[in-house]
Amino acid sequence: MPTPYEAPLALIRAAIDQAARAVELSSLPGWPEAFGDTADAVLQGAARLARDVLSPLNATGDAASSRLIAEGVVTPKGFPEAYRRFCADGWPTICAPQEFGGQGLPMLLGAAVTETWGGANLAFAMCPEAANGAVEALRLHAAPALRERYLPPLVSGEWTASMCLTEPQAGSDLSTIRTLAEPDGDGWRLAGRKIFISWGDHDLADNIVHLVLARTAGAPAGLGGISLFLVPKMLPPDVGEPPAAGREGLRNDIHAVSLEHKMGIRASPTCVMALGEHGGARGWLVGPLNGGLACLFTMMNHMRIGVGLHSTGLAERAWQLARSYAQERRQGRDAAGAQRPIIEHQDVRRMLLTMKALTHGARCLAYHAAATLDVTLAKVGEVDKVDKVGDEAVRERARRRLALLTPLVKAWCSDVAVEVSSLGVQVHGGTGYIEDSEISQVYRDARIGPLFEGTNYIQAQDLLVRRVIRDRGAALEELLAEMERAARNLEHLDTPAARPAGTSLVALSAPLLAECAHLRAAARRIVDSSGSQPDLPGCVAYPFLQWLAVVAGGWQWALAAHDASRHNPSDPGGPGGLREPSGSHGSHDEFARAMTDCARFYGAHILPRARAYAAAVDSGTDILVTPRPAEI
């Protein structure tokens, strides 16, 4: 019998509260006063749908996979009904702009909901996530007529979306895209092949809005000659040609021609899409000609945070399965000869605490990025007034921060999900290798995170080259200073009077301060020598990202421990309105103690990994540039 996924409401609400407080969301103009109540209702509703509808389809969807038949992709049993319920309950609309039918709720709240879908059923969750990204891209870059036609059904979930970038020869390097677009009437006709298109075809919705990167005749070579096109699966009936049989309009010439057989996320159809093999796929330009990459990156950045959130959900799922197994499974005996649940064994506790420390650290960092996104939007729910209200300097700072956090969240949360799901398998012993155990699917599903929406190395390069070296470390310095403030705030609270013996948080605050100083010095060396050492960024980007990420996780745990310490049931707290943490922890005291223990564990067991990443960064180009390819 499957173990249902349960959204960890106490931890989620703590993370929301923490992020809202850290970025001072409540100071934003128009911040809803009743955010706490709204958040409670939304999170509880999401938890119910996740547990009752999406989670039960996770294993069955994996076993059945999506299939391609002559009429198109058929998703596993139950998926179309689940998607209808998902839309009927209004979930696609929650963070979408109100003028197109959305509820305009904060991205921070949407982040928690996105995590929940990922934890319950990643394969399913990927479908609406692409629509969210497309809504953002179209809202910002599409012409008014396109927005009016396509945004309302995307916002309602009536239609879904896909992102069509990759071609066989163009993966991480999009400059070699060959799909061709030619002018045709009021629009364009496209021809080409796209691969690895998640939810490129399916039977959940009547129409799919494909956002397709293509090249136009005579466009400059390279990335500056790529444009973004909207290519619907079904042409709305009044577009250029007479409607065919049904009201839904004419089938456009974009088809799934095969599906990949994958290690995981098997219910999610990964399509090879053929465009224009029967006369040309009709499309419409989004954003400026040859400016497609920037428009696409609106969607891509949204989806990168989404990968981080989904990965956090998977890690949480692994943790729930492992903890539950460890509470039930008995091996070994206590002093009285009774068999003990394995959660009492020290090494099982070490694994579970590692899982929790990484998962909640990843969650807090991803939520922090989502809250920062809310600041960039300045006024939640009234996005068209963005440029009229708020403090532009605050928004600009938030944009810098978000640019720094996005690759960090995508890469670290997905790496964390791989590690945490592997630990989850290990806690299960041999049982974890059996598909019935459910943890095995989590392990397979999690492995996609570091690969898609830009491999984690692409994230590292983005982080180091575009977000650190380009501004000579200015945005990084803002972040390091903020991390140091968090560590010092912890030191101030961490007095012998405030904490009983053996619960001091110096195990976290001391290495956090030390690593901030080390990172500052290393970043300065990299910035100073990158001009004279062109190979340097490529050699150190990935360990640099790992280093900054594990320190950022420590920062988030410092905030969490701080919040837990000052937590008081009579204090409604910040805008997150965290008043009644419930779930696995019975009381405020227990919750606070568990958070403090985990923060100390992070400092003693996780944060020291920074030393290994630092050594790799310090070795610079040495060794990595020496061996010729034949010698590797």
Beta partners for 594? Answer: none
Residue 325 binds a second copy, judged by CB under 8 A: no
Residue window 36-75: x/- pattern of binding to a second copy, with contact defined by CB under 8 A = ----------------------------------------
Residue 567 binds a second copy, judged by CB under 8 A: no
| Residue 98 or 621 with smaller CB distance to a second copy | 621
CA distances to 201, 237, 252, 533 from 243, in Å: 21, 5, 12, 60
| Residue 251 or 329 with smaller CB distance to a second copy | 329
> 126, 155, 405, 541: which one contacts a second copy (CB under 8 A)?
541
DSSP alpha helices (H): ranges in 50-202? 56-64, 79-88, 107-120, 122-141, 144-156
Number of residues that bind a second copy (CB under 8 A): 95
Q: Is 453 a catalytic residue?
A: yes
Give the binding range for a second copy (CB under 8 A) out of 67-75, 379-387, 474-482, 623-631.
623-631
Question: What's the token pair of residue 453?
Answer: 């929406």
> 225, 237, 429, 583: which one contacts a second copy (CB under 8 A)?
429
**What gap in Å lies between CA 309 and CA 414, rounded to an integer?**
9
Tell me which residues in 106-145 interact with a second copy (CB under 8 A): none
Q: Which of 207, 99, 90, 210 is nearest to 156 (CA)?
A: 90
Kind of pairing between the strands at 226-232 and 207-216: antiparallel
**What gap in Å lies between CA 524 and CA 544, rounded to an integer?**
12
Give the binding range for a second copy (CB under 8 A) out of 26-34, 64-72, 166-174, 553-561.
166-174
> 37, 241, 435, 528: which one contacts a second copy (CB under 8 A)?
435
| Residue 87 or 442 with smaller CB distance to a second copy | 442
CB of 344 to a second copy, least distance (A): 6
Transcribe 62-93 into DSSP letters: HHH--EEETTEEEPPTTHHHHHHHHHHTTGGG
Chain centre distance of CA 413? 7
CB of 431 to a second copy, least distance (A): 8
Taking each helix axis from N to C end, the angle separating 609-618 and 536-565, rounded to the nearest 10 degrees, works out to 160
| Residue 90 or 538 with smaller CB distance to a second copy | 538
**What gap in Å lies between CA 400 and CA 386, rounded to an integer?**
17
Quickly tell me which residue has 């080390």 as its tokens: 518
Residue 585 binds a second copy, judged by CB under 8 A: yes
| Residue 327 or 582 with smaller CB distance to a second copy | 327
* Residue 489 CB neighbour total at 10 angstroms: 17
Transcribe 585-622 into DSSP letters: --SHHHHHHHHHHHHHHIIIIITTHHHHHHHHHHTTTT
> 344, 477, 482, 491: which one contacts a second copy (CB under 8 A)?
344
Residue 166 binds a second copy, judged by CB under 8 A: yes
> 55, 75, 252, 440: which one contacts a second copy (CB under 8 A)?
440
| Residue 420 or 539 with smaller CB distance to a second copy | 539
Q: Are 211 and 299 in contact (CB under 8 A)?
A: yes
Question: How wide is the angle at C-alpha 360 spanned by C-alphas 357 and 366, nearest 5°?
Answer: 135
Give the binding range for a second copy (CB under 8 A) out of 223-231, 261-269, 300-308, 484-492.
261-269
CB of 98 to a second copy, least distance (A): 36
CB of 309 to a second copy, least distance (A): 20
Catalytic annotation, pick one of 438, 453, 484, 515:
453
Residue 346 binds a second copy, judged by CB under 8 A: yes
Core vs surface per residue 538-573: b (16+ CB within 10 A) or e: bbbbbbbbbbbbbbbbbbbbbbbbbbbbebeeeeeb
**What gap in Å lies between CA 375 and CA 402, rounded to an integer?**
10
| Residue 253 or 415 with smaller CB distance to a second copy | 415
Give the H or E element holding residue 293. helix 292-328
Tell me which residues in 481-540 interact with a second copy (CB under 8 A): 502-503, 507, 535, 538-539
Tell me which residues in 355-374 interact with a second copy (CB under 8 A): 356
Tell me which residues in 72-91 interact with a second copy (CB under 8 A): none
Residue 328 binds a second copy, judged by CB under 8 A: no
Residue window 175-214: x/- pattern of binding to a second copy, with contact defined by CB under 8 A = xx-------------------x------------------
**What gap in Å lies between CA 423 and CA 322, rounded to an integer?**
8
Q: Which of 425, 524, 452 is nearest to 166 (CA)?
A: 452
Residue 323 binds a second copy, judged by CB under 8 A: yes
| Residue 395 or 410 with smaller CB distance to a second copy | 410
> 193, 349, 499, 524: which one contacts a second copy (CB under 8 A)?
349
Give the H or E element holding residue 191. strand 187-198
CA distances to 52, 134, 230 from 121, in Å: 11, 21, 28
Residue 225 binds a second copy, judged by CB under 8 A: no
Residue 432 binds a second copy, judged by CB under 8 A: yes
Q: Which residues are catalytic?
A: 453
